[in-house]
A and B are shown apart, each in its own frame.
Chain A
Amino acid sequence: MSFDAIFAPLSEPMVFGTFIGIVVASLAVVIGLTYFKKWGWLYSEWLTTVDHKRIGVMYIFVAIIMLFRGGVDALLMRAQTAIPENGLLNSAHYNEIFTTHGLLMILFVAMPFVIGLMNVAVPLQIGARDVAFPRLNLLSFWLTVAGAILINVSFIFGGSPNAGWTGYFPLSGPEYNPGVGNNYYAWSIQISGFGTLMTGINFITTIMKMRAPGMTLMKMPMFTWSILITSLIITCAFPVITVTMAMMTLDRQFGTKFFAMSDGGMDMLYANLFWVWGHPEVYIVILPAFGIFSEVIATFSRKNLFGYGSMVAAMVVISTLAFLVWAHHFYTMGHGVLTNGVFSITTMLIAVPTGVKIFNWLLTMRHGKISFTTPMLYALGFIPIFTIGGVTGVMLAMASADYQYHNTLFLVAHFHYVLIPGTVFALFAGYHYWWPLIWGFRLNEKLGKAAFWVMAISFNVAFFPMFILGLDGYARRMYTYSAATGYGPLSMVSFIGALGLAVSFILVAYNIYYSFRYAKREGSDPWDARSLEWCVHTPAPNYNFAVIPTVTRLDEFWFAKKEGRDLQAGKIEDIHMPNNSQSAFWQGIAMTAWGFFFVWAEWIPAAIFLVITLAFMLYRSFQKDDGYHIHVAEIEETERRYDENGGLRGAK
């Protein structure tokens, strides 16, 4: 690990400038925290907390920061391709940027945002006080951060991965990619993947074991259902990527030949394994979105969800089909008609349950009293845009036609037409919708709606031209093109759209500042919602429910409101709570360091940090920590203070 190799990327002015920017920003944070004496508060209230709501907030915070990092990547790409023969980025730099863009957006924006929202909402929706394994939950978070740190430091220390977010062999193998870049790729996915897998297990257990009395599976809110299914897919899919990344590391750093083109290796095996995980992964980020929209659409149509049973059935079918379609990502790698035929059919089948859900949402809105709040706007925008994404997906699903579309901008347009309305819109809908649960006030609606309109319009300006360019043969991941291709004008349109998207994300972020400053505190249940999470006081107390409610039907809270019942009436008892966990935080740091030194093949420090990691696990295995109790007097006092400020829980 020579000094020169580590800092080689800094010789590029753009990288150097960014590096200086990061140093200055970090210094500002450090100085700010020191000046306001906030280190202790940060450490004990946030970094080591096991409260699911706070862990959720931290996940979403990370996701938003990463959204800006990934967004800068996107802007740079569109700026480079806005005009023919542009010289803003050279080809090597462009390769790194589209690779980190994809990786960041899927693994460090969509995933933490989804996991953040499920942390915030699921325990409250099922009437629980926390997740089943609160400390494991915190460790999952820190492992996600570890992965995010590794991928983000790569561009300064040694160079970023550059073989696409899919990291196909042989391009990402040691022969064609001797630097450390793709080691970062493997370790970043590997370590954050451990965290995600543990989250999946944690939430399956939470939802199966910790529901309020009376809440049978078919009385669960739809978002909780979607998270149960998502967690099941996570638990079945993530081990595949763990093994694949381990094999990649062995090939790259230890000379094995699993994916090599020689010595009995098979490069196609990598693409196969990647998509065995990769396709379920796209469903992992879309199913929670379906759950969020179900909640939002029902709430703001003032109606119960149309076809609850068929919604659940559709998701169960999707959970199986999601595992049966992966080869549609490499139809063109040379398999025969039989194989492509089988995978074409399974792929088209997925559109059926997805279509069922779209009709259910439309019928939920029919005859409803619709209020056009920010979350609802996102839901309304989602339906038509996502439908375009789905229809183009079915076009791609036809293997013979895909020979034309594959790896062109048409494909890029397809997946952005599903991922942006599906995932980004949904995450923002959920984020605006559940914000008051945590903070006790709503985000500003005017700014929220403005951001939505800018986002929805710019999105189409940025991505619709890509369908046309793709049909004209514009291959994806090209760093430039000649003027003679005629791609120039539409590429410029797309760049303008990308700028608009950036503006909309800035508006979303500005809204945080604006609302903290000017929004008025509100009582519980500001949206007049239907499900159990809204029967707690807002901002939700750390114990969530003073008394665990009993559930008799779907949308229990809604009916309780109508009948003037208090769901938390009953005798208050001592509440058993878990203690904070310092070891989860430090283990996350140790694993970041372990990953970093492994990337650089510095075996002695890597071994030291591996031992430290194992020591933390050993310590945890023998640790006796029974948590603590919040006593009745204290709970009553807290509840009384809420009642003075906010009126009866949830009652309007």
Chain B
Amino acid sequence: MAELFPKEHVVGFIGSLVLTFAALSVVWLDVSMVVGMIILLVTALIQAAVQLMLFMHIGETDDKVDIWVATLFAFGIGIVTIIGSLLAMVWGY
């Protein structure tokens, strides 16, 4: 019975709900801009990890190297886009 119980999915499901409400709390809690942004960023990163690993099971198949390379590529592009946008509109404006 134990192996039939989809533990990962349940953990993932509850985890993603908790993370969503944690992020939403920024709206209600009276925190500073910096603290709010940190909460959003951290919950977003954990949320992405939960989705990718617990729901999409990346890293559990034979082609996990390809998948990780592609994910890291996308992650890298995302980081570069953020830095470039800050450069264009805030730091270097």
Contact = CB atoms under 8 A, between A and B. Distances in A.
Interface of A: 204, 208, 232, 235-236, 240, 266, 268-269, 272, 276, 320, 323-324, 326-327, 330, 334-336, 338-339, 342-343
Interface stretch (B16-24, B37-45, B77-85): B77-85
B17 to A, nearest CB: 21
Contacts, number: 51
Interface in B54-77: 63, 66, 70, 73-74, 77
B89 A323 contact: no
A338 B87 contact: yes
30 contacts: A204-B70, A232-B70, A235-B74, A236-B73, A236-B74, A236-B77, A240-B81, A266-B89, A268-B88, A272-B85, A272-B88, A272-B89, A323-B80, A323-B81, A326-B84, A327-B87, A327-B88, A334-B93, A336-B92, A336-B93, A338-B91, A338-B92, A339-B87, A339-B91, A339-B93, A342-B84, A342-B87, A342-B92, A343-B84, A343-B88
| Size bracket, chain B contacts | 10 to 19
Contact of A335 (B63, B80, B81, B93): B93
The 3 closest A-B pairs by CB, nearest first: A339-B92, A336-B92, A338-B92
Contacts of B66: 208
Contacts of B91: 338-339
Q: Interface on chain A toward B: helix, strand, loop, or mixed SS?
A: helix
Nearest to B88: A327
A336 B92 CA distance: 5
Contacts of A324: 80, 84
B89 A269 contact: yes
Contacts of B88: 268, 272, 327, 330, 335, 339, 343
Contacts of A339: 87-88, 91-93
A339 B86 CA distance: 10
Contacts of A236: 73-74, 77
Contacts of A272: 85, 88-89
B74 to A, nearest CB: 5
A338 B93 CA distance: 9
Contacts of B63: 208
The residue among B63, B74, B87 with the most chain A CB atoms within 10 A of its own CB is: B87
Nearest to A338: B92
Nearest to A333: B88
A628 B85 CA distance: 51
